[in-house]
Amino acid sequence: MLEPLTFPAGFLWGAATSAYQIEGAVREDGRTPSIWDTFSHTPGRTVGGDTGDVAVEHYHRYRDDVALMAELGLGAYRFSVSWPRVQPTGRGPAVQRGLDFYRRLVDELLARGIEPALTLYHWDLPQELEDAGGWPARETAYRFAEYAGLVAEALGDRVESWITLNEPWCSAFLGYGSGVHAPGRTDPAAALQAAHHLNLAHGLGTQALRAALPARARVAVSLNSAVVRALSQAPGDVDARRRIDNLANGVFHGPMLHGAYPADLLADTARVTDWSCVREGDLAAIQQPLDALGLNYYTPSLVSAAPAGGSSRADGHGASDHSPWPGAEDVTFHQTPGECTDMGWTIDPTGLHELIMRYTREAPGLPLYVTENGAAYDDKPDAEGRVHDPERIAYLHGHLAAVRRALADGADVRGYYLWSLLDNFEWAYGYSKRFGAVYVDYETQVRTPKSSAEWYAAVARTGSLPAAE
Ligand code: GBH
């Protein structure tokens, strides 16, 4: 018999969600529309015209949801704050009723011994700020810093773990490049400007958090952190890999971790933008000391130079005639060989190991967290109402084993957050894709832990992976 794979004592076992994907209650307690309300209500933008209007009613069911987390033995819960709930116009004083929801949620978590990890921005920009220019406008970065300070003042006494942005790549390049995410714009120059202003928002936001939070608070960012591989060792393919890697990773971790945009990224994108949006002092403002780095990983990308016919999978987020890769529109994306999840994303745990080891090298001394990892499957209750999802268990097992390997190789990974606690609104895919460890019946809102939830609870309880069946 194989030894179970044991994780270090104190390793954090968590699950993650985001506000717009689960809360619903979009018109309650002073909340105004975010770009995702507008986008999802625009015909043709989401599968089935689905919206987050109701989602899984977490806004009203949070107490039961936290009880469920406790039953599953979770040590940590990563959630996001809805900006338009606490600062409806994106300016001015906070709305107390909005903040009160998060105070109650956090208190409930703390009462159950579950560590809250708070993400400030998981894609739901107040619509008023989009109307004023959105992320391509510099002003939005200042607005974010103000918002970060308001939330820190309200919740800094009870939340220690803070994350500025979730996957700014998606906000910039799916939101303003391919347009498959809100606000649905398709302007490559605007996408690069958005990326810079998201970086600036992270830097200024981190400063605002430091000013408002007690010293024990920890500040991190959750990066998209793509694993990009070349189809062959031909020079064109290797160069395609380099360009995509810069547009996926370097554009954010360059300024955030090293205080500069990669010189070759600036050269590669010169015909799209002159980067005049980068002002003096910006890079110093963006490069803030961090306490941890969050990595979100689902699947690797495989690229080549020449159009190879075949695959047109550009980002795994739905079809668009517009590329999310400014200046690298010629690069072809291929399906990585192997089994896929219901998203069509190839299952490849070696990518997670590779990613962790890369950031171990590039950000020495910075503790790492896997802030998202998980899989969508077409789950259905059986005749007894139970939901069996052996594929998800296999996915989680494989990826946790990869984390364990990285630990053995010297990486400082402190925790893992499964995406997601609950089935929820999967952005452009609406409710057609289920990522939850807990099944949600969208008619009745009844929650049923899937077999993967029970499996994960055992992993969390024992701090070790069972030998693979
Ligand atoms: C995350 O996005 C989100 O944070 C979360 O809200 C969402 O529900 C969840 O994942 C599931 O989608 O081929 O180079 O474009 C993940 C989005 C998926 C974007 C993988 C990049 C492939 C890399 N990412 N995708 S690439």
Atom of ligand 1 nearest to the CA of 244: 14
Q: Which pLDDT value is given to residue 311?
A: 45
Atom of ligand 1 nearest to the CA of 420: 8
Closest-lying ligand 1 atom to the alpha carbon of residue 343: 12
- The residue whose C-alpha atom lies closest to atom 12 belonging to ligand 1 is 426
Tokens of 187: 């302007």
Q: Which residues are catalytic?
A: 372
According to the model, what pLDDT value does residue 380 have? 98
Instruction: Provide the domain limits for residue 253.
Output: 5-465
What is the tally of structural domains in the chain?
A: 1
Mutate which of 169, 229, 298 for ligand 1? The one with the most ligand atoms within 8 Å of its CB, which is 298
Task: Say which residue the tokens 């989009």 belong to.
Answer: 130
By residue count, the chain amounts to 469
Which residue has its alpha carbon closest to ligand 1 atom 7? 426
> What is the CA(433)–ligand 1 centre distance, in A?
13
Q: Which helix (H) or strand (E) holds 33?
A: none
**What are the residues whose beta carbons fall under 8 Å from the beta carbon of 374, sequence distance 6 or more?**
298, 392, 395, 396, 418, 419, 420, 435, 437
- Name all residues whose Cβ lies below 6 A of ligand 1: 18, 166-167, 170, 224, 226, 248, 296, 298-299, 301, 315-316, 333, 372, 419, 426, 435
426 CA to centre of ligand 1 in angstroms: 10
Distance 291 CA to ligand 1 centre (A): 24
Residue in 17, 36, 123, 170 to alter for ligand 1 test, most ligand atoms within 8 A of Cβ: 170
| Closest atom of ligand 1 to CA, residue 222 | 4
Q: Which residues contact 367 (CB under 8 A, 6 or more apart)?
A: 291, 292, 293, 412, 413, 414
| Contact criterion met (CB below 8 Å) for 417 and 117 | yes
The Cα-based distances of 187 to 46, 321, 363 in angstroms read 20, 12, 32
Which pairing describes strands 12-16 and 5-6: parallel, antiparallel, or unpaired? unpaired
Mean pLDDT in order along the chain per 10 residues (469 residues)? 81 99 98 98 98 99 98 98 98 97 98 98 98 99 98 98 98 98 98 98 99 98 94 98 98 98 98 98 98 98 78 51 96 97 98 98 97 98 98 98 98 98 98 98 98 98 86
Q: CATH no. for residue 20?
A: 3.20.20.80
Residue 310, pLDDT score: 46
- According to the model, what pLDDT value does residue 114 have? 98
Predicted pLDDT at 316: 41
385 and 438 in contact (C-beta within 8 Å)?
no
